[in-house]
Structure 1
Amino acid sequence: MDPHNLFENDHQVPVSLDQLMNINAPSMYLVRIDGDSMEGAGIFNDDLIVVDRSIEARSGHIVVAAINGEPMCKRLVKTQHDVILASENKRYPSRYLQPGDDFMIWGVVTYSVRSHGLD
């Protein structure tokens, strides 16, 4: 198959990333990732993530949160006894919430977008 023909199909429906990712909704915002602790989940340094404040975070969701004012992007894990913000890179430990920690979830990650260095 000729790759040039992929874009010549008259039946293709235009795709809007704004609509696909619902970026214009009031509950949505974008965050640039600084670090590699979520590589195992496919989120890499300098990626852009789409975050939705309107979704109630559940165990297993990737969230943007803060512990004692330190912002982070991690996988939320809730067990019978613990709330854990888990890294998806073996080089980084998971963060267990401790009594007295100031913890806030700022939203659930719904999409990530990667730049391929064409600055």
Structure 2
Amino acid sequence: MSEFSFGEVLGVTFVLFGFAAFLMGQAIADTWRPAWQNVTYGLLLAVGNHFIDFALFQGDWLSISHYLLDAVIIVAIALFAHRMTLARKMVQQYPWLYERSGLLSWRVRG
């Protein structure tokens, strides 16, 4: 069984697959699909991440804890990107109705 490596998680999960998860979250929001789809696709993306950890860094393929850690990070990044893109789209598409009230939110124009 392999040990936890912060370098692997930082390099593979955050940089490589985190970028893919960010793009995935944006794509799902751009097509007005619901946020729960980020979870489904994020779990599939985490399988790819787990395989890269196994193939390149001799990780344990049967390690559920490493997979779950990767999946939580990937889904969190995807949900963040989804919400950020949705807030941008709501204000751009309905400028007479909404205004930005932060990075992840909008409010009714008053």
Return the TM-score normalized by structure 1. 0.21
Of Structure 1 and Structure 2, which has the larger fraction of its residues in strand? 1
State which structure, 1 or 2, has the greater radius of gyration over its C-alpha atoms: 1
Q: Relative contact order, CA 8 A, sep 6+: which one is greater?
A: 2
Of Structure 1 and Structure 2, which has the larger fraction of its residues in helix? 2
